[in-house]
Amino acid sequence: GAGVSQSPSNKVTEKGKDVELRCDPISGHTALYWYRQSLGQGLEFLIYFQGNSAPDKSGLPSDRFSAERTGGSVSTLTIQRTQQEDSAVYLCASIPGLITDTQYFGPGTRLTVL
Amino acid sequence: AQKVTQAQTEISVVEKEDVTLDCVYETRDTTYYLFWYKQPPSGELVFLIRRNSFDEQNEISGRYSWNFQKSTSSFNFTITASQVVDSAVYFCALSEYGSSNTGKLIFGQGTTLQVKP
């Protein structure tokens, strides 16, 4: 079946603008994670959703970052007033439901802030 | 605190050589999982293996094998008879289930493997 999909695949924006990144998890998967991959910091956890709630937002780097999930499916990661240090690949992963399940990742969104 | 260390930043081998990628982890939990993911040039993270902390049996899958040793907190990955298609960045990751109820992954810095023809 279809895997995790993310859009857009690439996003170039100007410093100070807001951006929205989208994640479509595997159908039926109830839990979803966002990670960020940057040259300086490697792969970092951002936020975890179980259903529509986010019990762990501990990885969000600042209050400019927020995420929501609606209908227990699609998730949107929003970055307000983007900064150059936000440039990274943003990855989404989903699991069927148990936190012990294996996470399957989408192709990522490459964000470049000029 | 939890941590994953992949000391080898880059490895270069010639095709058909065997290569081992090292992974050392730190955790206070007794219940955890360890993972290896492959990231080819296309960028997508591809799941390779998952082991739980109660299962120290080594595993072999084709040319891939994994050696899990709790005594040394290591989870090393060996590719036998490497091929050019094995060229990628490989990530080791840890997920704790004793103190954490989210299953978030803590990644190592990754090892870039280049297999030359």
* DSSP characters over B43-58: ---EEEEEEETT----
Distances (CA, A) of A1 to A4, A69, A104: 10, 22, 13
- Residue B64, chain A, CB below 8 Å: the answer is no
C-alpha A72: how far from chain center:
15
Q: Which among B5, B33, B44, B101 is the top mutation candidate for probing chain A, defined by the most A β-carbons within 10 Å of its own β-carbon?
A: B44
Give the 3-state secondary structure of residue A54.
strand
Residue A62 pLDDT: 95
CA–CA dist B47, B49 (Å, integer): 6
CA–CA dist B104, A65 (Å, integer): 18
Residue B100 pLDDT: 66
CA–CA dist B58, B67 (Å, integer): 5
CA–CA dist A93, A79 (Å, integer): 18
* Whole-number average pLDDT of chain B: 93
Residue A1 pLDDT: 56
Closest CA to B34 of A100, A50, A73: A100
CB–CB contact A42 B47 (8 Å): no
Residue B106 pLDDT: 95
Q: pLDDT band at residue B99, thresholds of 50, 70 and 90?
A: low
Instruction: Over range A79-86, report the average pLDDT.
Output: 97
Per-residue pLDDT of B40-63, as tens digits, reads 998 899 999 999 999 888 889 999
Q: Please, which residues have CB within 8 angstroms of residue B87's CB and are 6 or more apart in sequence?
A: B40, B41, B113, B114, B115
Residues of A in CB contact (< 8 Å) with B are 31, 33, 35, 42-45, 48, 55-56, 59, 89, 91, 93, 95, 99-108, 110
